[in-house]
Structure formats: C-alpha cells, structure tokens
Amino acid sequence: MLQLRPNCECCNKDLPPAADDARICSFECTFCADCADGVLRGVCPNCGGELRARPRRPASLLEKHPPSSERVLKPRGCA
C-alpha cells in the first residue's frame, strides 16, 4: 500500500492525500509537480525512475489506511 508521504522531498511543500500535484516514483519518493516537472524534469533524483502522478486514496478509506506522517526532505533541496 502506498505511504502517501505528506510533503515534497525538494521544497517541503505540503502534499495532502488528495493533492493533484503530488508525483511519485516506483519507490514512493514524493515530489510536488513544480519540482518534478521543473528542476527534476520527470526523473527521480534518488533512483533515476520516472515521476508520475500519485494516485489518490478514496476519502472513505483514509481512516482505515491513513497516509504517512513521516516527512522526508533533502537537506539541500534538489537544485
């Protein structure tokens, strides 16, 4: 099950579970669309995989399967 991480690893922007602008790779590294499409050009800086739109978990299942609260942040961003 996807972790649904709460923030962009580059800029620390909040990405709630229903965010339309969340992007992930196959390892669930998480970025906002601005960072993913801009500086990262669609490629995960951690694994080299492609960044795709993160699926949204139905609101009715968020209580049973809550999103992650662990924030992951690159100390120097993704410049």
Structural domains of the chain ordered from first start: 1-57 (3.30.40)
Write the pLDDT tens digit of every residue in 36-52.
Answer: 999 999 999 999 999 99
Per-residue pLDDT band for 79 (boundaries 50, 70, 90) equals confident
Q: What pLDDT shows up at residue 31?
A: 98
Mean per-residue pLDDT for 8-16? 97
Please determine, for residue 1, whether its predicted confidence score (pLDDT) is greater than 90: no
Q: Is this structure's pTM higher than 0.85?
A: yes
What's the rounded Cα separation, in Å, for the pair 78 and 12? 11
Exposed/middle/buried for residue 6 (C-beta within 10 Å: 0-12, 13-18, 19+): buried
Percent of the chain at pLDDT > 70 equals: 100
Higher per-residue pLDDT: 4 or 1: 4
